[in-house]
């Protein structure tokens, strides 16, 4: 099985913990000459491909590196230059070519994760509301073509969300195990404030250990 | 057991709705329910594409609660087909695709039906849909 991510959302819908496990990134690095074959644009403070899917580069991919230097936001630091260089300005000048660019799906930023977590919180509530059957809960699993989301809501309203590949069944055991770890290492910690982000080393270690164990040997051993 | 079917056009209008065994009805007006359902599906689509750890192809397929499953199929023309069933049904995407084919044959290819924004009132569509749903092994009107 492949385990992708864990999210914990408190009862008010804000993200209190997230953990990514062996996320593989699909990145493409190539050398280009002037002018570029595709249209780039600034979206959400990132340089993103707007038009022109070619050589495995897809619309929505961001420029991750220019000539091997990592891009942060819309700029990158160049040796010998005091200020950071704007990627769009740099790529607009023909004297900077040939240039080596690395493209990939932009990784989620913390702000986006918080936004997605609160989105899920409301999707969960609405899915229970529109149910054609009486007494339905919210979303328990959500299937897409590439991953499956498993959600477990505790009786106190905290949601544990796990993303795995499609082959995975019986994730309830892992979700309950994570709930137990949360109760043991976060809630029982006298320095942990309820409903606040979890930043505790012992909790991190135990979550990681539980996930690694499942990743190697499957859910049956928990 | 199959509960309901919704068909939405690319603008988010519900152009067809039918229910079979539906035990719970919402306290809101029916068009409010359609808007809520469409909103939910549109948000889930955006949500799952953004959250996806690997490159998604067609994204969201279905979600399940402890009482029902919502199956989703979207055509390349952004027509959205939604089917709710109980938990015994596995993926009903094949059935949704079949419904999509019935729709193209009886509604899209009918020159007398305006291309966009009209609810489906074709009797041929309704009767063929009814047959397809009732022939499904997961349909039973218990």
For chain B positions 88-127, those within 8 Å of chain A (CB to CB) are 91
Cα(A92)–Cα(A96) distance, integer angstroms: 8
For residues A13 and A80, is the Cβ–Cβ distance under 8 A?
Answer: no
Looking from the CA of A113 toward its CB, the CA atoms found within 13 Å total 19
Domain at A27-104: CATH code? 2.30.42.40
- Looking at residue A199, what is its pLDDT? 94
Q: How confident is the model at residue A68 (pLDDT cuts 50, 70, 90)?
A: confident
Are B23 and A132 an interchain contact pair (Cβ–Cβ within 8 Å)? yes
Residues of A in contact with B84 (CB under 8 A): 132
Phi then psi for residue A90, to 5 deg, are -60, -45
Does the domain at A3-23+109-217 match CATH 3.30.450.70? Answer given as yes
A88 lies within 8 A of chain B by CB: no
Alpha-carbon gap: A68 to the closest alpha carbon of chain B (Å): 23
Interface test with A, best of B63, B70, B87 (most A CBs within 10 A): B63
Cα(A209)–Cα(A174) distance, integer angstroms: 12
The tokens of B100 are what?
């999509």
3-class secondary structure, A66: strand
- Looking at residue B104, what is its pLDDT? 93
Cα(A189)–Cα(B61) distance, integer angstroms: 40
B29 lies within 8 A of chain A by CB: no
Span A135-168, pLDDT tens digits: 999 999 999 999 999 999 999 999 999 999 888 7
- Looking at residue B110, what is its pLDDT? 84
DSSP string, A97-112: -SEEEEEEPPPPPHHH
Instruction: Tell whether the model's pLDDT for residue A34 goes beyond 80.
Output: yes
For chain A positions 120-179, those within 8 Å of chain B (CB to CB) are 120, 122-123, 126-147, 149, 163
Beta strands in B9-133 (DSSP E): 14-19, 60-64, 69-74, 80-85
In a domain, B49, yes or no: yes
Higher model confidence: residue A34 or residue A199?
A: A199
A98 lies within 8 A of chain B by CB: no
ipTM of the complex: 0.91
In a domain, B70, yes or no: yes
Are A141 and B22 an interchain contact pair (Cβ–Cβ within 8 Å)? no
- Looking at residue A221, what is its pLDDT? 58
Higher model confidence: residue A199 or residue A23?
A: A199
- Looking at residue B8, what is its pLDDT? 95
CB atoms within 10 A of CB A37: 12
Residues of A in contact with B40 (CB under 8 A): 123, 126-127, 130
Which residue segment(s) compose the domain that B122 sits in? 2-135
Residues of A in contact with B83 (CB under 8 A): none
3-class secondary structure, A190: coil
In a domain, B140, yes or no: no
Instruction: Tell whether the model's pLDDT for residue A65 goes beyond 70.
Output: yes
Higher model confidence: residue A140 or residue A73?
A: A140
Cross-chain CB nearest to B47 (options A120, A128, A132): A120
**What proportion of chain B, given as a percentage, has pLDDT over 90?**
67
3-class secondary structure, A75: strand
Higher model confidence: residue A54 or residue B12?
A: B12
- Number of structural domains found in chain B: 1
Cross-chain CB nearest to A123 (options B40, B50, B54): B40
Name the most confidently modeled range: A5-9, A52-56, A80-84, A214-218.
A5-9
**Alpha carbon A44 to its chain's center:** 16
For residues B28 and B41, is the Cβ–Cβ distance under 8 A?
Answer: no
Where in chain A are the domains? 3-23+109-217, 27-104
- Looking at residue A220, what is its pLDDT? 63
Residue A105 β-bridge partners: none
Alpha-carbon gap: B112 to the closest alpha carbon of chain A (Å): 34
Query: Which whole number is the average pLDDT over A90-95?
Result: 88
In a domain, B26, yes or no: yes
For residues A15 and A9, is the Cβ–Cβ distance under 8 A?
Answer: yes
In a domain, B141, yes or no: no
Nearest CA in chain A to B63: A142
- Render the burial of A157-170: b for 16+ CB within 10 Å, e for the rest: ebbbbbbbeeebee
Residues of B in contact with A120 (CB under 8 A): 47
Nearest CA in chain A to B3: A132
User: Which residues, 6+ apart, have CB-to-CB distance to B55 below 8 Å?
Assistant: A26, A58, A105, A146
Alpha-carbon gap: B60 to the closest alpha carbon of chain A (Å): 4
Residue ranges of chain B whose pLDDT lies below 50: none
- Render the burial of B72-91: b for 16+ CB within 10 Å, e for the rest: bbbeeeebbbbbbbbeebee
Are B55 and A105 an interchain contact pair (Cβ–Cβ within 8 Å)? yes
Residues of A in contact with B70 (CB under 8 A): 127
- Looking at residue B114, what is its pLDDT? 73
In a domain, B142, yes or no: no
Are A134 and B23 an interchain contact pair (Cβ–Cβ within 8 Å)? yes
In this structure, what CATH number is given to the domain that contains residue B46?
Answer: 3.30.450.70
For residues A78 and A90, is the Cβ–Cβ distance under 8 A?
Answer: no
Number of H helices, E strands in chain B: 3, 5
In a domain, B19, yes or no: yes
Are A130 and B37 an interchain contact pair (Cβ–Cβ within 8 Å)? yes
Alpha-carbon gap: B127 to the closest alpha carbon of chain A (Å): 23
Query: Which whole number is the average pLDDT over A39-60?
Result: 87
């Amino acid at each position: 099985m492949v385990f992708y991510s864990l999210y914990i959302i408190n009862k008010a819908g804000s993200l209190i913990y997230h953990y990514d496990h062996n996320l593989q990134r699909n990145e493409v690095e190539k050398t280009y000459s002037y002018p570029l074959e595709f249209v780039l644009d600034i979206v959400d403070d990132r340089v993103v491909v707007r038009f022109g899917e070619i050589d495995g580069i897809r619309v929505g991919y961001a420029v991750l590196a220019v000539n091997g230097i990592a891009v942060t936001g819309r700029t990158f630091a160049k040796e010998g230059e005091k200020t950071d260089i704007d990627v769009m300005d740099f790529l607009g000048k023909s004297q900077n070519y040939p240039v080596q660019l690395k493209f990939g799906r932009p990784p989620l930023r913390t702000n986006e994760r918080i936004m997605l977590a609160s989105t899920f919180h409301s999707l969960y509530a609405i899915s229970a509301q529109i149910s054609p059957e009486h007494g339905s809960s919210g979303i328990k699993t959500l299937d897409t073509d590439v991953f499956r989301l498993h959600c477990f809501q505790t009786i106190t309203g905290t949601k544990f969300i796990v993303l795995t590949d499609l082959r995975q069944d019986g994730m309830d055991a892992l979700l309950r195990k994570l709930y137990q770890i949360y109760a043991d290492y976060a809630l029982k910690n006298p320095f942990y404030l309820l409903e606040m982000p979890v930043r505790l080393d012992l909790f991190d270690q135990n979550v990681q250990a539980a996930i690694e164990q499942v990743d190697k040997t499957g859910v049956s051993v928990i | 057991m199959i509960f309901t079917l919704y068909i939405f056009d690319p603008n988010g209008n519900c152009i067809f709705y039918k229910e079979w065994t539906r035990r719970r009805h919402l306290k809101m007006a029916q068009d409010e329910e359609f808007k809520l359902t469409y909103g939910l599906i549109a948000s889930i689509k955006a949500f799952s594409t953004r959250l996806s750890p690997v490159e998604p192809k067609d994204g969201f397929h279905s979600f399940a609660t402890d009482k029902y499953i919502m199956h989703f199929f979207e055509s390349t023309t952004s027509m959205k087909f939604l089917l709710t069933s109980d938990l015994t049904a596995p993926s009903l995407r094949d059935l949704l695709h079949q419904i999509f084919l019935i729709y193209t044959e009886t509604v899209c290819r009918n020159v007398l039906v305006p291309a966009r924004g009209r609810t489906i009132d074709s009797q041929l569509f309704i009767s063929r849909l009814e047959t397809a749903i009732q022939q499904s092994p997961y349909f039973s009107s218990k």
